[in-house]
């Protein structure tokens, strides 16, 4: 059971917008710690997608955006493309005995 809760799966048609939620608590996201998002394409290593809640590293398309509010964070993907089909993980710092750095359970994005 992950400290950060994500929906197991989301789906959308090409061109649509999807969002993936990441729900934490007052020992991680709610304490003000930043949220990071990673994309893991099938059979590959994770890749940093969003850092510092909403910043995109160089090379990440602006179709990907992140936000944070209270004890939750969200990843939004607009103009969905077939190559976006992947697993997505949120990550943050946790000050409880579960940490210090924790990941969400991951969300499988299916492009219909």
Partner 1 sequence: QVTLRESGPALVKPTQTLTLTCTFSGFSLRTSGMCVSWIRQPPGKALEWLARIDWDDDKYYNTPLKTRLIISKDSSKNQVVLTMTNMDPVDTATYYCARTTGGQPGVPYFYYYMDVWGKGTTVTVSS
Enumerate binding residues for partner 1 (CB under 8 A): 2, 33-34, 36, 38, 44-48, 51-52, 57, 89, 91, 93, 97-106
Rounded to 5 degrees, what are φ and ψ at 73? Answer: -140, 160
Rounded to 5 degrees, what are φ and ψ at 7? Answer: -65, 140
Q: Cβ 82 to partner 1, closest distance in Å?
A: 22
How is residue 25 annotated by DSSP?
-
C-alpha 3: how far from chain center: 14
If the CB atoms of residues 34 and 78 are measured against partner 1, the closer one turns out to be 34
If the CB atoms of residues 40 and 78 are measured against partner 1, the closer one turns out to be 40
């Amino acid at each position: 059971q992950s400290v950060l809760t994500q929906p197991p799966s989301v789906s959308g048609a090409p061109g649509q917008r999807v969002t993936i939620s990441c729900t934490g608590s007052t020992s991680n996201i709610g304490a003000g710690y930043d949220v990071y998002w990673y994309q893991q394409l099938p059979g590959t290593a994770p890749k940093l997608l969003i850092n510092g809640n909403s910043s995109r590293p160089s090379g990440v398309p602006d179709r990907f955006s992140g936000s944070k509010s209270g004890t939750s964070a969200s990843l939004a993907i607009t103009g969905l493309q077939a190559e976006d089909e992947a697993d997505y993980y949120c990550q943050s710092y946790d000050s409880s005995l579960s940490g210090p750095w924790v990941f969400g359970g991951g969300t499988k994005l299916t492009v219909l």
